[in-house]
């Protein structure tokens, strides 16, 4: 089997888990956050710097690479790892989320037809096309092609979508050609309906995937319903297989999902906000474009040991963003990814000590205190 998950410990008071995930390109520790390299690159960041701040897995986007440069091109160049100069594990999504967010798409039992916005040409993607593309890309973990429906959706439509996604999951398994080197994960759907989440999870488990994702979140349902979607899914997933919550990246959301038994996460939030000059700190967010930072000699976060905080001041970063110097985006991205990696490391340590609840409370207390102090600024 290309991946092996070892459940090291479950917090005594919650469902929070600490695990070890073995992949062909290295072993990683969970809970885990994956930075997103949509176009086979972490925007503004050299892979060596990503390794230095301990990014364990990078997510790349099948939909975008399918269109440019083409997955067959990447395959001829040796696959994603040499193509993007990244030696550690990679996960590719199926492209389903991006495809189903497009306007004027046509969904059929075979798959989805859509228009490539760059050249106005018609493109088709179904389970077979998605899996063959991911086989070409060569990531350690790949995802079954699923229908990711928006929120809100009626129970009737969500039920039909779950059945289609289950059929597509079976087709994804049949199409998968590299089962000894790439782990194919199934994706639980069902919107916010408990019966549909249960059916989706139970039927996927029968297919015996090496790992399972909870999808259909971060589509407009909000924080509380995201928690419900996890609660409706987790009890029906195998305890000794890894669980991936797709597209969730706010620290508060990650904490709630870890508490409910999820293991790995991905989102563009830390890198996207870094390029906008918004940095995560142990006391909340810092917006570096504020005039109050123009002469501030302190680092972004006085408690942070990332390469940005140990060398540069808020005043310097304020200057870089003010003049739109690309180095600012690089330094901000370094800091935000380091913040997430450190947050997950501390979370794991708390789980191993049966102190996850205390960690969560302290983290949120600092965050809420910062928000109260800066309200209206």
Q: Are 207 and 186 in contact (CB under 8 A)?
A: yes
| Strand pairing class (106-107; 112-115) | antiparallel
Let me know if 116 is a catalytic residue. Answer: no
Q: Determine contact, residues 79/137, Cβ cutoff 8 Å.
A: yes
Instruction: Of 209, 76, 67, give the one whose Cα is nearest residue 142.
Output: 209
Q: For 12-31, b where at least 16 C-beta lie within 10 A, e where not — what string?
A: eebbbbbbebebbeeebebb
Which of these is catalytic: 11, 140, 253, 266? 266
**E-strand spans in the chain?**
4-10, 17-23, 26-30, 32-35, 58-61, 90-93, 106-107, 112-115, 122-125, 141-143, 183-188, 211-214, 242-245, 264-267, 278-281, 284-287
Judge whether 352 and 65 are in contact, CB under 8 Å: no
The yes-or-no answer on residue 373 being catalytic is no
Catalytic residue among 11, 93, 253, 301: 93
69: burial class by Cβ within 10 Å (0-12, 13-18, 19+)? middle
Instruction: Specify whether the CB–CB gap between 148 and 100 falls below 8 A.
Output: yes
Count of Cβ atoms closer than 10 Å to residue 237 Cβ: 23
Instruction: State how far the Cα of 36 lies from the Cα of 43, in Å rounded to an integer.
Output: 9
Among 176, 163, 166, smallest CA distance to 134 is for 176
Residues 171, 128 contacting (CB under 8 angstroms): yes
Give the span between the Cα atoms of 220 and 223, in whole angstroms.
9
Give catalytic residue positions.
93, 266
């Amino acid at each position: 089997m290309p991946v092996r998950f070892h459940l090291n410990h479950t917090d005594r008071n919650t469902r929070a888990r600490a695990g070890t995930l073995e992949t062909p390109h290295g072993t990683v520790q969970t809970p885990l956050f994956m930075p997103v390299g949509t176009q086979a690159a972490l925007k503004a960041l050299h892979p060596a710097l990503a390794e230095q701040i301990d990014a364990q897995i990078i997510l790349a986007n099948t939909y975008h690479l399918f269109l440019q440069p083409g997955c067959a091109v990447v395959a001829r160049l040796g696959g994603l790892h040499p193509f993007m100069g990244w030696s550690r594990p990679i996960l590719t999504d199926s492209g389903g989320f991006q495809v189903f967010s497009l306007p004027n798409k046509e969904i059929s039992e075979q798959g989805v037809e859509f228009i490539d916005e760059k050249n106005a040409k018609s493109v088709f993607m179904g389970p077979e096309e998605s899996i063959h593309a991911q086989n070409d890309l060569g990531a350690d973990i790949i995802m079954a092609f699923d229908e990711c429906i928006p929120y809100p959706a009626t129970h009737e439509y969500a039920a039909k979508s779950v059945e289609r996604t289950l059929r597509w999951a079976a087709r994804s398994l049949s199409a998968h050609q590299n089962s000894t080197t790439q782990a194919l994960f199934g994706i639980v759907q069902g919107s916010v309906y408990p019966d549909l989440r249960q059916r989706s999870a139970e039927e996927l488990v029968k297919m015996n995937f090496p790992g399972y994702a909870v999808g259909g979140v971060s589509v407009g349902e909000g924080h509380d319903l995201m928690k419900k979607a996890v609660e409706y899914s987790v009890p029906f997933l195998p305890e000794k297989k890894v669980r991936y919550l797709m597209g969730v990246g706010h620290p508060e959301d990650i904490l709630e999902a870890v508490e409910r038994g999820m293991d790995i996460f991905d989102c563009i939030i830390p890198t996207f906000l870094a390029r906008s000059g918004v940095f995560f700190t142990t006391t909340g967010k810092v917006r570096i474009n504020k005039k109050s930072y123009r002469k501030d000699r302190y680092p972004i976060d006085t408690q942070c040991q990332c390469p940005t905080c140990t060398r540069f001041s808020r005043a310097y970063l304020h200057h870089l963003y003010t003049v739109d110097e690309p180095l600012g985006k690089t330094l901000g991205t370094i800091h935000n990814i380091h913040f997430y990696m450190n947050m997950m490391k501390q979370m794991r340590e708390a789980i191993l000590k049966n102190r996850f609840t205390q960690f969560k409370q302290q983290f949120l207390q600092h965050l809420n205190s910062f928000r109260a102090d800066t309200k209206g600024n």
